[in-house]
Amino acid sequence: MTATGRAAGAGALRPDDVRDMLERQTAVLELIAAATPLREVLTHILTSLELFIPGARCSVLLLDREHGTLHHGAAPSLPGGYVAAIDGMAIGDGAGSCGTAAALNRAVVARDVRRDVRWVSYRPAAEAAGLRSCWSTPIEGPDGLPVGTFAVYHPEPHRPTRREQLLVERFTHLASVAIEHADVLGELVESEERFRRSFDDNSLGMAIVGLDRAVVTTNTALTAVLGERRADLVGRRLAEVVTPVDGPLDARLDGLGRDDAAPVVFEAVLHRRSARAVEVEVTVSLVHARDGGPGQYVVNVFDLTERRAAEQHRRARLEAETARRTAEQLLRARSALLAAVGHEARTPIQAIVGFAELLGTLELDEAQRREALGRIDAAAGHVMDLLADVLDLSRLEAGALPVALEPVLVRDVVVEVLGLLSPAADRREVDLSMALLDDVVLADRRRLRQVLLNLVGNSIRHGAVGGDIAVRTRPAGEGWVVVAVDDDGPGIPPDLLPRVFTPFAAASAPEREAAEGGAPDGDSSIGLGLGLAHGLVEAMGGELTVASSSPAGTSVQVRLRRAPPDA
């Protein structure tokens, strides 16, 4: 039975509701993963919800926090005149359902807009559009504050049922994920534009070279030095352009394939077809591709004659080097984010699609249906958690993650974390314990909970089956408190320790087998968790370190400032 063929009941969601909702949720996640424009994603969300609630007309308004106004996001079935009438409305208590919901950060139900006092200013527009009731819920951002509103209209007086509330709650969360993902994509576009400007407008000669060591493109400065057109340089071997003073070029570049290899710097002769060759300093670094493997070389060429001739040129080199490093960091950040979303989201999305097809093509009994729906829900949750982690990590790198420090009793957070993770620990037969003092630290409670969930969860996944995990606190000098997570697992491989807080760092195959200790999913990658935890602790003014790691176990410590007694 389709969503359009069902009556809107007053109870909880039916199995058919859940199945159809998960199918549409999968479609939305696929649109998000494909970087579909935000308005198109929101329109898909709204039209999907309208199928579940016959007669409803839905819309999303986006909040401009700086000016306190709501603006059109998507409204596939609302009249254009009404959309224009409310576009740019100021939020506040009494500004219709949406403006009030955004101002108060809670759901607002106007059963009959003709009688609701909050609709005085917008009642004529609603009546002209044939709208009689409006139910609006805030769309929360990662900081818990609204980034927009989700509204459901009806042509007659209406109060939402429990089923409708559950549906709107889920689709509102999808809208939140879509909005935050669109923000990240916007940041990526800006990052790419900054890189392009750093490359094209740089006074230092620069080229991007493929793994076959042929020129892919050059900037204006390098073509000016060579006296040639950019099109004539594309495809030419790098060795035809520069010759190192000491040793062959290929031998110098071969070492860049190693992990964390430093850029190669050497003096060379720059060959110019229509002028005398000049002495230059060449810096070559390797940029990784989306899959983490080698991608391209970034080559920087500096005229040593000019540098040796004037101090002004030395200052220009320093500025150009800084610009180069900044451009490479922006490019790596973009590649890492795209690799994370592309690699980590592909498997659970495939699982969602596969189980959805299974439900639609095979006759399954109730137990099998529940299992399939559970697998779909778990995979969808994994993708949404991944997107949330990527968003947080992106904001950490940009220094824009909101953190609200307040006095937090460590014991309360640890008890909550161990309670949430106890089912996972039971499946691995792991014993969870704690030895805590009554320490109060300055932290963001939600972020501290997120950090400890990552640390304890990582110990459960990669520790020994039937092992022990303990969370302890102790003083750490004047004004500091240490929260330690200790396990008796196989430890972290030595070569992985320097990169343990790097997103998606992974051990080599033999070391994985020794380190996993029977992890239930066989996944040895560190993932985003530890890297995100490290950034969150630093954002709260603390430190996250691996205090010790050996075959006998690992101790990871969080160091936070103690809250003052009068806080």
DSSP string covering 265-322: EEEEEE--TTS--EEEEEEEEEEE-TTSSEEEEEEEEEEHHHHHH-HHHHHHHHHHHH
- How confident is the model over 520-549, as a mean pLDDT? 73
Structure tokens at 249: 């070029």
- How confident is the model over 438-460, as a mean pLDDT? 90
pLDDT of residue 523: 38
pLDDT of residue 9: 42
Whether residue 61 contacts residue 148, with contact meaning beta carbons closer than 8 Å, is answered with: yes
pLDDT band at 345 (very low <50, low <70, confident <90, very high): low
Domain with CATH 3.30.450.20 in the chain: 203-309
Residue 25 has pLDDT above 80, yes or no: yes
- How confident is the model over 259-280, as a mean pLDDT? 80
With pLDDT > 90 as the criterion, what percentage of the chain qualifies?
A: 32
Query: What single letter denotes the amino acid at residue 445?
Result: R
pLDDT of residue 327: 64
pLDDT of residue 449: 87
- How confident is the model over 159-172, as a mean pLDDT? 91
pLDDT of residue 158: 94
Range with the poorest average pLDDT among 143-147, 194-198, 517-521: 517-521
**CATH architecture entry for 3-189:** 2-Layer Sandwich (3.30)
pLDDT of residue 31: 85
Residue 307 has pLDDT above 50, yes or no: yes
pLDDT of residue 346: 63
Residue 60 has pLDDT above 90, yes or no: yes
pLDDT of residue 567: 61
pLDDT band at 532 (very low <50, low <70, confident <90, very high): confident
For domain 403-561, give the CATH number: 3.30.565.10
Domain with CATH 3.30.565.10 in the chain: 403-561
Map residue 2 onto helix, strand or coil: coil
Q: How many CB atoms lie within 10 A of CB 271?
A: 15
Q: Which residues are registered as beta bridge partners of 490?
A: none
More confident residue, 288 or 236: 236
pLDDT of residue 252: 81
Residue 388 has pLDDT above 80, yes or no: no
**CATH architecture entry for 203-309:** 2-Layer Sandwich (3.30)
Residue 220 has pLDDT above 80, yes or no: yes
pLDDT band at 333 (very low <50, low <70, confident <90, very high): low
More confident residue, 517 or 73: 73
Range with the poorest average pLDDT among 2-16, 299-313, 502-516, 533-547: 502-516
Residues, the chain: 567
Whether residue 146 contacts residue 140, with contact meaning beta carbons closer than 8 Å, is answered with: yes
pLDDT band at 519 (very low <50, low <70, confident <90, very high): very low
More confident residue, 243 or 376: 243
pLDDT band at 527 (very low <50, low <70, confident <90, very high): low
More confident residue, 513 or 158: 158
Map residue 72 onto helix, strand or coil: strand
- How confident is the model over 86-101, as a mean pLDDT? 94
- How confident is the model over 389-396, as a mean pLDDT? 66
Average pLDDT score, the chain? 81
More confident residue, 481 or 319: 481
Model's pTM, two decimal places?
Answer: 0.40
More confident residue, 383 or 39: 39
Residue 128 has pLDDT above 70, yes or no: yes
pLDDT of residue 105: 94
- Secondary structure of 140-160 as H, E, C letters: ECCCCCEEEEEEEEECCCCCC
pLDDT band at 3 (very low <50, low <70, confident <90, very high): very low
Q: Within its chain, how far is the Cα of 18 from the centroid?
A: 26
Domain with CATH 3.30.450.40 in the chain: 3-189
